[in-house]
Amino acid sequence: MEDLPERLSIAILGCGKLGTSLLCGFLSPKRSTPTLSTFPSLLSSVRTPLEISNISVTVREAASVDRVRQAVLSLQSTSSPSRPSPPQVTVGLQDQNARAAQEADVVILGCKSYAFADILCDQDVRTALLGNERRKTLVSVLGGVTIAQLQSCLSDSNAQEFNDKQQRPGITDPECLCTIVRAVPNMAARNRESVTIISSSDPSIPPQDDNNRQVNRLFALLGPTKTLLESQINHASAIAASSLAFYAKIIAGAADGALDCGNGQGLSKEDAMWISAQAVRGTSGLVAAGQDPSCVVAEVATKGGSTAAGLKVMEERGVIEAVSAAVKECARATEMLSNASTR
């Protein structure tokens, strides 16, 4: 018999492009294959299903409240079959940040990277995060913002909260008042096809730690997760999150090529784009299943054949070097963002 589900309440403070994608993923009835690639034993040891009871999200502008509500409505109207008890969604403005954080077990910070202090330095938000008997988890999805930066934002009140609470049983360590985790999901979270890179505030905390386990299980609802050191996260995010933009360009470029050579008898743009996207999905499935990319190339291209002719053009134009350089530059820019905001 399956155990009763573990029910989790979450908040997304800053529900923009990525936040909305996470929200839609959490609301989607589609199940992702739950793979915790780094800790497969962890998943198998967890029999309790995870259920999200409610999601409270906040934004800055009134127009964004409508945008998020519209996204939820259109998801509900296209979802079939719907879940027996879908999560309750509350959408509010930034003056609801503290309430949303107070009511949540896991608080996801999803504003722009430069705006994190606006949210976390608010005294009510800090109290909501730190002033609890049960330790909350703050998950930052912000590119280039380090755990140390987030910690320092909370630290003034951390000490104060600790002093206030020393009289209460069960809270003995100021570091335990809030667990901070960095997570880098991507826009495919909407379809539960993201990969999420996760790094926690203390690498010595075992993955079985309740809060870490919770974050891994939560993001495993949106696709596979991978736990890395925080020092690796900027590089990993270039291929985990930003690269979707690069692949989208490659899909569109390949489709355009097929359209250009049709001499008026060719494919429709829609068909070309769909076929191109499916081909990328297929390739990614082969490589993710363990096939080396060079083997895929060898299996597809025959010496003197049409694929080889196409590969020759790619090599002559330095496409691969350009893609590698783009990823390198992207990781460097994220690194600079981290360094700039620690100064």
Ligand X SMILES: NC(=O)c1ccc[n+]([C@@H]2O[C@H](COP(=O)([O-])OP(=O)(O)OC[C@H]3O[C@@H](n4cnc5c(N)ncnc54)[C@H](OP(=O)(O)O)[C@@H]3O)[C@@H](O)[C@H]2O)c1
Segment 216 to 235, residues that bind ligand X, using CB under 6 A: none
One character per residue 248-287, x = contact with ligand X (rule: CB under 6 A): ----------------------------------------
Judged by CB, which is closer to ligand X: 4, or 63? Answer: 63
Judged by CB, which is closer to ligand X: 19, or 223? Answer: 19
Question: What 3-state class would DSSP assign to 240?
Answer: helix
Judged by CB, which is closer to ligand X: 181, or 184? Answer: 184
d(CA 222, CA 194): 6
Judged by CB, which is closer to ligand X: 241, or 255? Answer: 241
Q: Would you say how long the chain is, in residues?
A: 343
One character per residue 64-83, x = contact with ligand X (rule: CB under 6 A): x-------------------
- In this structure, what are the phi and psi dihedrals at residue 340, rounded to the nearest 5 degrees? -65, -40
Q: What's the closest the beta carbon of residue 270 comes to ligand X, in angstroms?
A: 24
Site membership for ligand X, residue 142 (CB under 6 A): yes
d(CA 206, CA 182): 16
Exactly one of 11, 59, 178, 228 binds ligand X (CB under 6 A); that residue is 59
Judged by CB, which is closer to ligand X: 36, or 59? Answer: 59
How many beta carbons lie within 10 A of that of residue 227, not counting itself? 21
Exactly one of 6, 9, 16, 188 binds ligand X (CB under 6 A); that residue is 16
Residue showing tokens 């297929």: 282
Judged by CB, which is closer to ligand X: 145, or 273? Answer: 145
How many beta carbons lie within 10 A of that of residue 179, not counting itself? 22
DSSP code string of 259-304? HHTTTTSS--HHHHHHHHHHHHHHHHHHHHTT--HHHHHHHH--TT
Site membership for ligand X, residue 118 (CB under 6 A): yes
Judged by CB, which is closer to ligand X: 102, or 186? Answer: 186
Q: How many residues bind ligand X (CB under 6 A)?
A: 28
d(CA 150, CA 230): 13
Q: What's the closest the beta carbon of residue 76 comes to ligand X, in angstroms?
A: 20
How many beta carbons lie within 10 A of that of residue 323, not counting itself? 16
Q: What's the closest the beta carbon of residue 109 comes to ligand X, in angstroms?
A: 8
Site membership for ligand X, residue 195 (CB under 6 A): no
**Which residue of this chain has its Cβ atom nearest to ligand X in the complex?**
16
Q: Which of 219, 223, 289 shows the shortest CA–CA distance to 12? A: 219
Q: What's the closest the beta carbon of residue 62 comes to ligand X, in angstroms?
A: 8
Name the segment binding ligand X (CB under 6 A); options: 9-17, 248-256, 294-302, 311-319: 9-17
Exactly one of 8, 13, 153, 177 binds ligand X (CB under 6 A); that residue is 13
End-to-end CA distance of the chain: 54
Q: What's the closest the beta carbon of residue 149 comes to ligand X, in angstroms?
A: 12
Judged by CB, which is closer to ligand X: 87, or 110? Answer: 110
21: its two tokens: 């994608």
Q: What's the closest the beta carbon of residue 103 comes to ligand X, in angstroms?
A: 15
Residues near 338 by Cβ (< 8 Å), separated by ≥ 6?
144, 145, 146, 149, 234
Segment 94 to 113, residues that bind ligand X, using CB under 6 A: 94, 97, 110-113
Site membership for ligand X, residue 18 (CB under 6 A): yes
Residue showing tokens 């696709």: 223
Sequence-ordered alpha helix ranges (H) in 37-113: 40-45, 62-78, 97-103
DSSP code string of 18-34? HHHHHHHHHH-SPPPP-
- In this structure, what are the phi and psi dihedrals at residue 2, rounded to the nearest 5 degrees? -75, 145
Q: How far is CA 105 from CA 57, 214, 282, in A?
A: 13, 10, 37
Binding residues for ligand X (CB under 6 A)? 13-19, 58-61, 64, 94, 97, 110-113, 115, 118-119, 141-143, 184, 186-187, 241
